[in-house]
């Protein structure tokens, strides 16, 4: 039996213990921050990828895959970008014993791999928009403490890169990405805050960045992903230009949209409890575990019935695991709860006799399910569980946000604070010092709890040009 640390008072210890006990990732690989995906974790990742692919392709994006190595000469073309990533890249400098003429960068992100090729693909206005995405591993030399899924050196990365005719169409693509993320997050039962980052926290090379933040432990926020508007910052140095119908040529405007396995970390962190992980049904490695409860006689009939139910649910498209090992049922329940399986079906001699199954969802809610209507009942119970996860997570998000009127209120604050900000960088940094964290930026979408708009800057007191901003301690 595993005793998990207290989620409320020791969040990080609890998180690490759940990832390990649920067997989602093996951290014993010989390079810090490069973890091994276990079969169980890999299933969750594949389900996550399926959701991302479904939603991005619904917006007209197509999958591509670019090489992992980037020539240093291409990497250096956009000045802000290289400045932002220089300290984080792994270099390949030798091929066998030979020093390479041009050193290679192991991609930290793929702008500089893709854009020289985009310059060849985009010739005419008819080639636009170009909307493509890839899901590949990227590499960053992370110097802080690494955590499975949340901060790693080898990142399972989803990145969409687009080229648009002009600034307005790139803005439309940003809006489209925000909609796609809303649908992705709904499948993960995750609420979030969409926040436009301040200038100093914008993605290197971008004109602006909108990030998705989720307060996880009532103290720190996790950035779930981000969308960036590049304007023509990359297309000019990389020569991504098109000919308009009138024969004039223009640089494209570009956007990107980045997500990663951090979303799995967010699912563990947001939904998990003192009994382990809790997966929403779309991401769950298995949606249903069937446990035959066999005591004495009648074992064969029970075992056969359990197999039949498993087969029936699989035919209905469910991901099912039948746990017919020789452990005691109680030990099995404990293990599958730790692993976060949304629904458990128990079948014993009594259930068999009455043509029923006992279902217990991961939140402990018990119900009888008629054997004859098992697939429909299971579908309904999973929907109910997902809805309850959304409700709980939204409650958590709402209670993690509070207004602040004075800088002193930020000191030691354990919430996302809503405050007035004049937009000056100096005032932003004063806020960051006071909260010992970050000015996350200005909300891009309505907050889940309505607040009266602040009328003055929390740092300098100015009343003109004041906007609502959020500050917190990021993870
Ligand atoms: Zn100010």
For residues 26-37, give the mean pLDDT: 94
What is the 211 CA–ligand 1 centroid distance (Å)?
23
Q: Which CATH superfamily is domain 402-474 in?
A: C-terminal domain of ProRS (3.30.110.30)
Nearest to 133 by CA among 192, 177, 75: 177
User: With 90 as the cut, is the pLDDT of residue 80 above it?
Assistant: no
Tens digit of each residue's pLDDT (9 = 90 or more) over 328-345: 999 999 999 999 999 999
What is the 406 CA–ligand 1 centroid distance (Å)?
12
User: If you ran DSSP here, which 8-state letter would residue 266 be given?
Assistant: H
User: If you ran DSSP here, which 8-state letter would residue 329 be given?
Assistant: H
User: With 90 as the cut, is the pLDDT of residue 416 above it?
Assistant: yes
Q: Which CATH architecture has domain 288-384?
A: 3-Layer(aba) Sandwich (3.40)
Beta-bridge partners for 68: none
Residue 297 is predicted with a pLDDT of 61
Confidence of residue 84 (pLDDT cuts 50, 70, 90): confident
Average pLDDT, the chain: 95
Tens digit of each residue's pLDDT (9 = 90 or more) over 284-326: 999 999 999 986 666 789 999 999 999 999 999 999 999 999 8
What is the 161 CA–ligand 1 centroid distance (Å)?
35
Q: Where in the chain is the domain with CATH 3.40.50.800?
A: 288-384
Q: Which phi and psi angles does 195 have, rounded to 5°? A: -130, 130
For residues 142-167, give the mean pLDDT: 96
What is the 458 CA–ligand 1 centroid distance (Å)?
7
Overall residue count recorded for the chain in this entry: 475
**pTM > 0.85: yes or no:** yes
**Cβ neighbours of residue 314 closer than 8 Å, sequence gap 6 or more:** 320
Confidence of residue 217 (pLDDT cuts 50, 70, 90): confident
What is the 454 CA–ligand 1 centroid distance (Å)?
12
What is the 433 CA–ligand 1 centroid distance (Å)?
14
What is the 405 CA–ligand 1 centroid distance (Å)?
13
Task: Give how far Cα 422 sits from Cα of 104, 390, 417, 459, 461, Å.
Answer: 43, 34, 16, 8, 8
What is the 461 CA–ligand 1 centroid distance (Å)?
6
Nearest to 109 by CA among 150, 133, 83, 138: 138
User: With 80 as the cut, is the pLDDT of residue 2 above it?
Assistant: no
3-state secondary structure labels for all residues of 58-121: CCCCEECCCCCEEEHHHHCCCHHHHHHHHHHCEEEEEECCEEEEEEEEECCCCHHHHHHHHHHH
What is the 349 CA–ligand 1 centroid distance (Å)?
71
For residues 262-284, give the mean pLDDT: 98
What is the 218 CA–ligand 1 centroid distance (Å)?
27
Q: Where in the chain is the domain with CATH 3.30.110.30?
A: 402-474
What is the 462 CA–ligand 1 centroid distance (Å)?
6
**Cβ neighbours of residue 182 closer than 8 Å, sequence gap 6 or more:** none
**11-271 in CATH: which number?**
3.30.930.10
What is the 427 CA–ligand 1 centroid distance (Å)?
5
What is the 75 CA–ligand 1 centroid distance (Å)?
37
What is the 469 CA–ligand 1 centroid distance (Å)?
12
What is the 200 CA–ligand 1 centroid distance (Å)?
16
For residues 44-60, give the mean pLDDT: 98
What is the 460 CA–ligand 1 centroid distance (Å)?
4
Residue 1 is predicted with a pLDDT of 58
User: If you ran DSSP here, which 8-state letter would residue 261 be given?
Assistant: T
**Cβ neighbours of residue 468 closer than 8 Å, sequence gap 6 or more:** 418, 419, 420, 421, 442, 443, 451, 453, 454
What is the 465 CA–ligand 1 centroid distance (Å)?
9
Residue 243 is predicted with a pLDDT of 98
What is the 457 CA–ligand 1 centroid distance (Å)?
5
What is the 174 CA–ligand 1 centroid distance (Å)?
29
Tens digit of each residue's pLDDT (9 = 90 or more) over 441-452: 999 999 999 889
Confidence of residue 414 (pLDDT cuts 50, 70, 90): confident
What is the 175 CA–ligand 1 centroid distance (Å)?
29
Please state, in angstroms and rounded to a whole number, the distance separating the CA atoms of residues 414 and 303.
Answer: 51
Tell me the percentage of the chain whose pLDDT exceeds 90. 91
What is the 213 CA–ligand 1 centroid distance (Å)?
24
Q: Where in the chain is the domain with CATH 3.30.930.10?
A: 11-271
What is the 414 CA–ligand 1 centroid distance (Å)?
23
For residues 384-392, give the mean pLDDT: 97
What is the 464 CA–ligand 1 centroid distance (Å)?
9
**Cβ neighbours of residue 192 closer than 8 Å, sequence gap 6 or more:** 185, 212, 213, 214, 224, 397
């Amino acid at each position: 039996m595993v005793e998990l640390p207290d989620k409320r008072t020791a969040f990080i210890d609890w998180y690490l213990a759940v990832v390990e006990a649920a067997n989602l990732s093996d951290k014993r690989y010989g390079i810090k921050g490069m973890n091994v995906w276990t079969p169980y974790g890999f299933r969750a990742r594949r389900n996550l990828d399926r959701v991302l692919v479904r939603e991005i392709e619904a917006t007209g994006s197509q999958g591509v895959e670019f090489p992992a190595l980037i020539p240093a000469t291409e990497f250096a073309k956009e000045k802000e970008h290289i400045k932002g990533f220089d300290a984080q890249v792994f270099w390949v400098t030798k091929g066998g014993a030979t020093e390479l003429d041009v050193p290679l960068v192991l991609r930290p992100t793929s702008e500089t791999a893709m854009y020289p090729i985009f310059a060849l693909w985009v010739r005419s206005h008819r080639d636009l928009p170009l909307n493509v995405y890839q899901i590949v591993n990227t590499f960053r030399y992370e110097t802080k403490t690494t955590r499975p899924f949340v901060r790693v050196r080898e990142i399972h990365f989803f990145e969409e890169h687009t080229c648009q005719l002009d600034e307005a169409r790139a803005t439309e693509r940003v809006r489209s990405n925000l909609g796609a993320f809303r649908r992705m997050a709904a499948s993960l039962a995750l609420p979030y805050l969409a926040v436009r980052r301040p200038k100093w926290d914008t993605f290197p090379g971008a004109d602006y960045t909108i990030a998705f933040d989720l307060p996880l432990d009532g103290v720190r926020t996790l950035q779930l992903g981000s969308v960036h508007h590049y304007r023509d910052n990359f297309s000019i140095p990389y020569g991504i230009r098109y000919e308009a119908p009138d024969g004039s040529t223009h640089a494209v405007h570009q956007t990107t949209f980045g997500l990663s396995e951090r979303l799995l970390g967010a699912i563990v962190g947001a939904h998990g409890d003192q009994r382990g992980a809790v997966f929403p049904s779309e991401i769950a490695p298995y949606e249903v575990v069937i446990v035959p409860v066999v005591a004495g006689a009648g074992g064969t009939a029970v075992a056969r019935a359990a197999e039949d139910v498993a087969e029936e649910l699989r035919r209905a498209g469910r991901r099912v695991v039948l746990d017919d090992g020789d452990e005691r049922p109680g030990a099995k329940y404990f293990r599958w709860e730790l692993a976060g399986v949304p629904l458990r079906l128990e079948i014993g001699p009594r259930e068999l006799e009455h043509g029923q199954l006992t279902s217990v969802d991961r939140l402990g809610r018990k119900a009888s399910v008629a054997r004859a209507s098992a697939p429909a009942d299971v579908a309904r119970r999973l929907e109910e569980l997902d809805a309850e996860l959304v409700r709980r997570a939204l409650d958590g998000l709402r209670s993690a946000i509070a207004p602040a009127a004075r800088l002193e209120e930020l000191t030691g604050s354990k919430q996302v604070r809503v405050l007035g900000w004049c937009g000056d960088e100096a005032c932003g940094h004063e806020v960051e010092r006071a909260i010992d964290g970050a000015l996350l930026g200005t909300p891009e979408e309505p907050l889940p709890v309505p607040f009266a708009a602040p009328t003055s800057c929390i740092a300098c007191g100015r009343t003109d040009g004041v906007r609502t901003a959020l500050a917190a301690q990021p993870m």
